[in-house]
Amino acid sequence: MIGNTGPYGTHGFTVQNVAGIRGLTSYNCPAKKFDCHVVYTNIPVPGAYRGYGAPQAEFALECHMEDIASDIGMDLIAFKRQNWVKVGDKLDIVMYLGERGTAAGEVDPASYPPVMTCGTEECVAQGMRSIGWHRRNDPAWVQPVDRPNIRRGIGFAFCMHGTAIPFLDMGGCSIKMNDDGSFNVLAGAADLGTGADTVLGQIAAEVLGVPLEDVKMYTGDTDMTPFDVGAYASSTTYISGTAVKRAADAVRWRIKLRAARLLGLPEDEACSIELRDRRAWAPDGRSVSLEDIALNSLHTEDHEQIMGTASFVSPDCPPPFGAQFAEIELDVDTGQVTVTRLVMAVDCGVAINPVTASGQIEGGMLQALGYGHCEEFAFDETGRMLNTEFDTYRIYRSDEMPEMEVFLVQTMEDSGPFGAKAVAEIPKDGVAPALRSAILNATGVAIDDIPFTPERVWRALQNAR
């Protein structure tokens, strides 16, 4: 790989590392080699962008896999299924590319855990049913008789990403119980519009047995909240969410101890108390409200502030998996590609909030659609950007968005909070190769450069004649 990092290093090298990891772990291959170069040029300084090397690598990888399947005459999905990683497989190149080492910084190949959860099969099955995969082999559908200049196609791409960076990403959380039985949650995580505050609040509420409205979130304020490495690398739910859960577990235990005293139970039976519906319940059905527990602890006897603090650094990086499908119409006279439908099924572990998770996937697919279909920087020989306005830098308008459908295939990832894995970046990875696959299905022409602008597609069709 050759990466253009502009005049400064910024993210150039780490983007290459992620590209190597995603490009060399998605499919099982015993012989691996990664050679990358970062070059300095006079273009503007690049920065971090969703996917962070994975979309580039997975586009090349998925194109290559489809070409191999075509060359050997094997069904595309059957060929990929035979080779994609499954539960128990080792991602054995990861620790050599900087995402996992020992505490001393030395590579420890035996220490990296295998894939523990993988919902790829169900993702592919859901996507195939939804997109109508069988139609791609129907000549009457591919070339409608009433529209002789139109070709239709359906494409597929397999996706795998990561969840945070092991032994590096850390999140902290403190939780305080208030007089009325509500809770203040102080977390270093920043909500960038992703719904992180809602998800972290849900985790705390679930542990403490209260509705979400009883949890007040304070996040991203470095003057008062615990430290957090940052909202990046698909890490917030997994890293910060685990810190929240651990802090909530500590608070829950203090509540149980106080409740046992109020209910006349010995301390060694506190573990049998359950928290639900704003109350602490004994096994015999008696209960006491969280408000009474808070008031007792603050104002009545053995005064204490019930609170808990925790942090989390993960030794694991459980990969989410996805199946991306695209349906397109292509005008062979002009090269115009119209994306009519996108379907993505994602294994993100247990979705803490299915609505926000689905929103992440829909937003990621649209962002990836611009990346793969129409958005492209143009520079002159001095590195000056030529298309600096939206009449020349083409982005999707809201009325141009294709129909989108999202499926959440849930697996139980034991290392994550309530079984969760990442979902933020994987929807960026598969759209471009799925579009390429659909264009190949529609025309028989493989185009290896993105974005698939009308001129680029038209020239490829002309060259193939």
User: Are both 282 and 420 inside the same structural domain?
Assistant: no
Phi, psi values for residue 432, rounded to 5°:
-60, -50
User: Are both 435 and 343 inside the same structural domain?
Assistant: yes
Is 434 among the domain residues?
yes
pLDDT tens per residue, range 52-78? 999 999 999 999 999 999 999 999 999
Q: 331: which 2 tokens? A: 């005008």
User: Are both 75 and 90 inside the same structural domain?
Assistant: yes
Using CB atoms within 10 Å of the CB of residue 245, give its burial: 0 to 12 exposed, 13 to 18 middle, 19+ buried. Answer: buried
Is 56 among the domain residues?
no
What is the distance between the alpha carbons of residues 62 and 109, in angstroms, rounded to a whole number? 27
Is 35 among the domain residues?
no
Mean pLDDT of 268-288: 97
Query: Which residue type does 1 have?
Result: M
Is 53 among the domain residues?
no
Is it the case that residue 24 has pLDDT exceeding 90?
yes
Is it the case that residue 195 has pLDDT exceeding 90?
yes
Q: How confident is residue 298, by pLDDT bands cut at 50, 70 and 90?
A: very high
235 within 8 A of 415, measured Cβ to Cβ: no
| Number of domains making up the chain | 2
- For residue 282, give its domain range: 170-313
Q: 344: which 2 tokens? A: 């993505």
Q: Which of 288, 313, 338 is the last residue of a domain?
A: 313
User: Are both 329 and 223 inside the same structural domain?
Assistant: no
Is it the case that residue 132 has pLDDT exceeding 90?
yes
Mean pLDDT of 269-297: 97
167 within 8 A of 103, measured Cβ to Cβ: yes
Is it the case that residue 101 has pLDDT exceeding 80?
no
pLDDT tens per residue, range 210-235? 999 999 999 989 999 999 999 999 99
**Per-residue confidence (pLDDT) for residue 157, from 0 to 100:** 99
Q: How confident is residue 106, by pLDDT bands cut at 50, 70 and 90?
A: low
* Region of 274 on the Ramachandran plot (φ > 0 left; ψ -120 to 50 alpha; else beta): beta
199 within 8 A of 237, measured Cβ to Cβ: yes
**Per-residue confidence (pLDDT) for residue 109, from 0 to 100:** 63
User: Are both 154 and 222 inside the same structural domain?
Assistant: no
What is the distance between the alpha carbons of residues 351 and 373, in angstroms, rounded to a whole number? 29
Q: What is the DSSP letter of 197?
A: H
**Per-residue confidence (pLDDT) for residue 254, from 0 to 100:** 98
**Which of 241, 281, 244 shows the shortest CA–CA distance to 265?**
281
Residues 6+ apart with CB under 8 A from 213: none
